[in-house]
Amino acid sequence: MGDARPIQRLIDEGYYDPETRSVRVIRGHELHAVNWQVEGALRMLFHVLDPAVAKDPKNLVVYGGSGKAARNWECFEAIVDTLLTMGGDETLLVQSGKPVVVFKTHTHSPRVLMSNAMLVPKWADWEYFRKLEAKGLTMFGQMTAGSWAYIGTQGILQGTYEEFGAIAEQRFAGSLEHRLVLTAGLGEMGGAQPLAVKMHGGVALVAEVNREQIKRKIEQGYLDTWSDDFGKALSIALSAKDRGEALSIGVLGNAADLYTFVLKEGIVPDIVTDQTAAHDPLNGYVPSGISFEDATRLRREDPDAYMRRAMSTIRVHVEAMLGFLDKGSVVFDYGNNIRKLAYDAGVSDAFRIPGQMVFMRPLFEVGRGPFRWASLVGEEGDIRRLDEEVITLFGENEKLTRWIRNASKHVRFQGLPARVCWLGYGERALFGVRINQMVRKGELSGPVWVGRDHLDGGSVASPYRETEGMKDGSDAVGDWPVLNALINAVSGATWVAFHHGGGVGIGYSIHAGFGLVLDGSPEMDLRAERVLTVDPGLGVVRHADAGYESSLRLIEEKGIKAPTARIGSKIQH
């Protein structure tokens, strides 16, 4: 036993089985690492790979097509060994899912710094990435897979709730009651759509090619019912719409086929979008005219033929979406880059379909974005207690309180119990410090991790999604996510991640995220206030720099020291 690796303890305790490649969440108050700052990173890594959370944990894939938590199992074990033995004043560097070095830094430094899938721009495309991946040299981390910040479908559920809520407010007098939403994809991201639509009172009709994903979402409470008969499913949806009943129906079948069917039937849904993993057409999109099982085989045996068929189907898929747009539906690209793929496949007017930021940008302008937390000891009661605290602190926000009440009623926890909501500049710091104080006073049973999606106002450059159509034309300027990672690191985040390609695929985005372990110490009061101020604050500054009036007003109102003066309609430095 003297030669046993550190990970053996977790194997003995049943948290990891190297034979079956099974990872389970670590619960309880007993530390395995030097302190909670390192233990928090360890627990979130195990959390994202728990079968209740991850899409394909046997292959280390968490969600989003092929988004992984570690490059391979050897790297996973090496990361774990390192976290179990490193000091409280050391920092582990992880290069695309592979641990490369531990340096002595200081106690306020991040315990982990990671970079995923970063390529020199000239070589930044899927083809070159896959060559490197095949050689074992890189890994696709998506957004919150490789940064160990994924909390299951709830994470995207809340963002989807905000998206459909913004559309309801701007187009349908604040509600989706008596409204039909046609969409596709019931994976770990798209699977949030049916419940988000229901929370706003609408009817969701959702195409999905994988029967097991439909079953999984019904079991998790995200989907009500399903059918493999297009006509029957459409009839159920229209009846519910007429009655004003909130309902979600999964449809076993290809999205392009279902959209074309509905269009030919002369039905005009109120909203049409898509959340298949089309950003990665080889691994995340299934062609029409082939079963899911046969598609899996074709992908492996003849990827070139698979890609040709996938691109052909995407063309039909987006042509149907354009058909709905012309008939008056609210149609938008949900950020999976399907418009660009369709354009490449010959749909010259694919970009007539707007992107999701048409509805969401006003939130980013004032620093409002995703904020999530998890009980690191696995105590559901702590999440319930924090639900109450959110409502106490921000009860004047009706949409936020409605979300918290809906989430506490409908959302089933996956892995470590967690919650997410969208909070604005100032609100995140207030709530983060309050959480840390509650841990210190014993109002919560143990430490809490907080973080966010990489999709936020100042942490992403993605010209076909979050930064599409910036007022000053700065859609492709990538300095902002770099600055976001840097300022979060020096402000005291527990770990910081910098990624390439999340959401829309390699070559189309760069983005940053962080993790912060609130262990109740006075030190973490200071670090939480710093990180949770500068992180959304950069989003406000980024939009003020682009000339958004609400951002400029907020900078003045909050006294943010941004050396930006407005002269006429331009921003001068």
Characterize the bridge pairing of strands 271-272 and 330-331. Answer: parallel
Report the residue count for the chain.
573
Indicate if 190 and 336 belong to the same structural domain.
yes
Indicate if 551 and 569 belong to the same structural domain.
yes
Indicate if 186 and 312 belong to the same structural domain.
yes
Which CATH number does the domain housing residue 107 bear? 3.40.1770.10
Indicate if 235 and 265 belong to the same structural domain.
yes
Rounded CA separation 305/326 (Å): 32
Print the domain residue range for 50.
Answer: 1-147+361-573
Indicate if 341 and 375 belong to the same structural domain.
no
158 in a structural domain: no
* 276 annotated as a binding-site residue: yes
Query: DSSP label at 354?
Result: P
Indicate if 411 and 546 belong to the same structural domain.
yes
SS3 393: helix
The CA-atom distances, in angstroms, between 108 and each of 88, 296, 524, 526, 530 are 9, 47, 9, 10, 12
Indicate if 261 and 345 belong to the same structural domain.
yes
Residue of 186, 236, 342, 421 with catalytic role: 421
159 in a structural domain: no
Indicate if 108 and 124 belong to the same structural domain.
yes
Task: Report the Cα–Cα distance between both ends of the chain, in Å, rounded.
Answer: 63
Residue-by-residue pLDDT tens, the chain, 573 positions: 457 899 999 999 999 999 999 999 999 999 999 999 999 999 999 999 999 999 999 999 999 889 999 999 999 999 999 999 999 999 999 999 999 999 999 999 999 999 999 999 999 999 999 999 999 999 999 999 999 999 998 888 888 999 999 999 999 999 999 999 999 999 878 899 999 999 999 999 999 999 999 999 999 889 999 999 999 999 999 999 999 999 999 999 999 999 999 999 999 999 999 999 898 899 999 999 999 999 999 999 999 999 999 999 999 999 999 999 999 999 999 988 899 999 999 999 999 999 998 899 999 999 999 999 999 999 999 999 999 999 999 999 988 998 999 999 888 899 999 999 999 999 999 999 999 999 999 999 999 999 999 999 999 999 999 999 999 999 999 999 999 999 999 999 999 999 999 988 999 999 999 999 999 999 999 999 999 999 999 999 999 999 999 999 999 999 999 886 453 334 444
Among 212, 215, 234, 235, residue whose Cα is nearest residue 225: 215
* 64 annotated as a binding-site residue: yes
* 185 annotated as a binding-site residue: no
- State the total domains in the chain: 2
* 256 annotated as a binding-site residue: no
Indicate if 498 and 398 belong to the same structural domain.
yes
Indicate if 550 and 442 belong to the same structural domain.
yes
* 306 annotated as a binding-site residue: no
* 565 annotated as a binding-site residue: no
Task: Please tell me whether the overall predicted TM-score, pTM, comes out greater than 0.85 for this model.
Answer: yes
Indicate if 323 and 367 belong to the same structural domain.
no
Using a 10 angstrom Cβ sphere, with 0-12 exposed, 13-18 middle and 19 or more buried, the burial of residue 402 is: middle
Indicate if 99 and 64 belong to the same structural domain.
yes
* 286 annotated as a binding-site residue: yes
406 in a structural domain: yes
Using a 10 angstrom Cβ sphere, with 0-12 exposed, 13-18 middle and 19 or more buried, the burial of residue 130 is: middle
Active site residue 75: no
SS3 125: coil
What ranges in 247-334 are assigned the alpha helix state H?
A: 255-264, 281-284, 292-301, 303-326
Which CATH number does the domain housing residue 187 bear? 3.40.50.10730
φ, ψ dihedrals at 432, nearest 5°: -60, -45
156 in a structural domain: no
Which amino acid is located at 32 in the chain?
Answer: H
Torsion from C-alpha of 409, 413, 418, 419, nearest 10 degrees: -30
The CA-atom distances, in angstroms, between 165 and each of 155, 211, 396 are 16, 29, 17
